[in-house]
Structure 1
Amino acid sequence: MKKAVLLLVIVCTSIACFAQSKLLSYEDIKFLIRNDLDQADTFLLAKGYTLKSKNVKKRNSVYTMPREGRTFINVTLRMDGRRMFMEIETTDVTQYNLIYNSILQYPHKFYLTGVDIETYAMKDQFTAYITINETVPYSPIIKNYSIQIIPDKNAVADRDLN
C-alpha cells in the first residue's frame, strides 16, 4: 500500500511539473534575451510553441500556443542590433503568475507608471512592463496580460547575424 501511494505521488508530481514545462519562466526569458532569433526559434519550438509568422528582413518572429479553454500565449521576439525585445501576451493566468512570482524573487525596482502599468527593473538583466486589461467579450474570470521585456544595455545576444 505504501509503495502504491508513493508511486502515485511521484507520478502526480511529474505530471504537474511537466504541465508547466511549456510555460515561460524567468530563466527562459533570460536565455531568450541573451541569444539570437535562430536559437530562440529552436528553443520555443522545442517547448511546443508554433511559429505564427517570421519576417527575416525586419528580424522579428511571432509564436503562439493555444491552451485549454479560451486561453492562449503569444510570444513576439524582435532583434534590434544585438538586443532582443520580447512581448508576451496571454490570457493564461498560470503563465502570468509564473513570470510575476519569479520576478518578485529577485532584487528589483518597482515603479507604478500611471494606473495600468507595473514596471519591474531587474538589475543588469531587463525591465518588465506588465499591463492587465479586460477581455473582449468581457469575462470576469479571464484577463489579458501583456508583459513587455526590454533588455538592459548590457544584456546583448551572444552572436549577431548582421
Structure 2
Amino acid sequence: MVLLKSNDGVTTVEVEEMAALQSDTIKRALEESDPDQCIPLANVTGEVLSKIVDYLTKQSEFASNKPQEILEKNLPELKDDVAKAEADLEAWKKDVEAWEDQYINVDMNMLYDLYLAANYMDIKGLLQLCAEKIASLIRGKTAIEMREIFGIENDLTPEEEEKIQAPNKWAF
C-alpha cells in the first residue's frame, strides 16, 4: 500500500501500489524515498485526490481483468476460441467506457482540477480522459458558446469583437 497526502495536509489516502504506479510522479517518489513514507502531493486537494484514487483503483482492476490477458495467461487451451475472446474483449471495453463516462461526468470545476492533477501526477490515462471530455464539450461550439461553457467573460469592446469576427465568421 502507498500513502498519499493532499496539499491541505489533512486528507491521507491509501492506495494499492499497482494502482498508484499508474502515476509517473508517484512512481518516481517511490523510487527516491522510503516506500513506507507518505507521499505529499503539493498541487492536489483532498477531494480531487480521492477522485483520482478511485480512477487509479478502477483502472488497475480493469487491467487485471482484461479478457485477452486472462485468456493468454490462464486458459491457453481456449486460445483457439477467437470469437469468444473477441466478444469478451468487446464487452470488457464497453464496461471500461461506461465506467469512464460516468466517472468523468463532473462539474466544470472538478474537471479542471482533475485535469491539472492528472498533469501534475503524470497519469496519462486520466489526462487523456479529461482532454477528451473537454474536447467533447467544445466540439461544434462557437466562440460565444465556449465562453459560456467555460465561464469566460468577454472583455472585448464591440469594435474589437467586430474586427475579430469579420474574417472569422465561421467561428461565431
Richer in strand (by share): 1
Richer in helix (by share): 2
When Rg is computed on C-alpha atoms for both structures, the one with the higher figure is 2
Q: TM-score, normalised by structure 2?
A: 0.26
